[in-house]
Amino acid sequence: MDYRFEFRPYRRLFKQPLRTHHGLWNVREGLILRFTDAEGRVGWGEVAPIADFGTESFAQALSFCQFLAAEITEETIAQIPSTFPACQFGFGAALESLTLPLKGSEDGEDLWATRKQSYLLPTGMAALVAWQDPWQQGIRTFKWKIGVAPLKKELEEFETLLRSLPKGTCLRLDANGGLDWDSANQWLTMCDRAREIYPAKVEFLEQPLPVHQFDKLLHLHQQFITPIALDESVSTFPQLQDCYQKGWHGIFVIKAALAGSPKQLRSFCQTHPIEVVWSSALETSVAQHFIRHHLIPSLPQSDRAVGFGVNHWFLDTALNQPNFEQLWQSL
């Protein structure tokens, strides 16, 4: 079947630069896709690449969309190469949202209740204030980026933050692959000790070492009590498969918008006993809605909070709204 294909780029400014080991991130760019079938029904998708995570660049994704004809077929979508995983996801999501029924309720299932979402804190001591309002709103899981300042300073800030967090709080530490072997061991030693001292707990340490140090990541996973979660190491579907085949049976942090074909990802998660934490790629409500209503409800459920508490990082709110036609017209 042929579908009318349209796309519009977006450009979103952060309220303040997002600091990770990869550097400062000031602007989020992506593409909103719109499919229309012969009966006038519309399907929505989003291409939200992050080149630092192993996807195509925004410029490559834009060129790819510009190259396509105004009419697109399912065969064309199936032939999108694995080197364009963000495009695979966006086009696959647009097709599924048009042709398959919703899996989740429109008013939101328990999985997406405030208590079950992870809230991204700013780096450094700004986190000491930033957790308080979301805590009052019911958030109990927070994510804090590390590996962006000197080790001694960050460890001191970490202890200060843990002392301030109430009982019942889970803190996720995300290094974005920015630690070396010695600093990773120091962090994990501190995390293990903190479990015996502070009422808040460290849920896991995410991607402490670079992607190419898989054997060392596996060793850390086996050596410490604090769990290790892979993120950049499993950004795309081939990486996910590779780490599983190499023996990783810990936590997989999956950014579905970067992982490639949703059909392929769904099949893998349905047939392999992996522990998944769903995480945002700082996409708009278009991709978030697909992940929420089409992808996650069709897979084994987890008690871990989903990592989609990120919309507060952006200046605009137009791309967070659930009315996609209005969102489309705002671009």
- Whether 145 is catalytic: yes
Give the Cα separation of 30 and 282 in Å (integer). Answer: 10
**Active-site pick, 201, 216, 246, 255:** 255
Distance CA 199, CA 164 (A): 10
- Asked whether 195 and 201 are in contact (CB, 8 A), the reply is yes
d(CA 259, CA 261): 7
- 15, 103, 143, 145: the catalytic one is 145
Scan for tokens 């967070």, then name that residue. 320
Three-state SS letters, 52-110:
HHCCCCHHHHHHHHHHCCCEEEHHHHHCCCCCCHHHHHHHHHHHHHHHCCCCCCCCCCH
What is the DSSP-derived secondary structure letter of residue 214?
Answer: H
Name the residue type at position 188.
L
Both tokens of 62, joined, read 């834009």
* Cα dihedral 21, 208, 308, 288 sign: positive
C-alpha angle with apex 327: 283 to 316, nearest 5 degrees? 60
Residue 116 is a catalytic residue: no
Hey, which residues are catalytic here?
145, 255
